């Protein structure tokens, strides 16, 4: 069964460093999403992406964040200069038609 994959599973970085979180969505899906979940808190929407552009973003998704689909299969989330409060689990998701979303296993980001 096709699934969304994410790498790495755990990323540790120093405050101020850039990180890139990678996702491979399901191959025939057209809509892509990033979410984050700070430990013990609810899941929060970051951004949705369709047709090679951002379709919607939350107030969390400021200038430090960017997304890209560089090669038709990967979908990346870049955080330019990480802060301590960026420590969270980051989930990628994809859907074929804005209905059911399929979530990846998540990347745990720890900023020291």
Partner 1 sequence: KNEVEQSPQNLTAQEGEFITINCSYSVGISALHWLQQHPGGGIVSLFMLSSGKKKHGRLIATINIQEKHSSLHITASHPRDSAVYICAVTATGANSKLTFGKGITLSVRP
Question: Can residue 101 be called a binding residue for partner 1 (CB under 8 A)?
Answer: yes
Alpha-carbon distances of 93 from 12, 85, 111, rounded to whole Å: 22, 22, 23
Q: Which listed residue (11, 24, 44, 76) binds partner 1 by CB under 8 A?
A: 44
Contact, 24 vs 76, CB < 8 A? no
Q: Which is nearer to partner 1, 18 or 56 (CB)?
A: 56
Query: Residues in the site for partner 1, rule: CB under 8 A?
Result: 31, 33, 35, 37, 41-45, 48, 50, 55-56, 58, 89, 91, 93, 98-103, 105-106, 108
């Amino acid at each position: 069964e096709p699934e969304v994959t994410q790498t790495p599973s755990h990323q540790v970085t120093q405050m101020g460093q850039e990180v890139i979180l990678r996702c491979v969505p399901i191959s025939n899906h057209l809509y892509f999403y990033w979410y984050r979940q700070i430990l013990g808190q609810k899941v929060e929407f970051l951004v949705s992406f369709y047709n090679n552009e951002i379709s919607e973003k939350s107030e969390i998704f400021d200038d430090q964040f960017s997304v890209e689909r560089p090669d038709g299969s990967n979908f990346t989330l870049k955080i330019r200069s990480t802060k301590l409060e960026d420590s969270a689990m980051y989930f990628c998701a994809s859907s074929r038609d804005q209905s059911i979303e399929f979530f990846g296993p998540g990347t745990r980001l720890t900023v020291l």
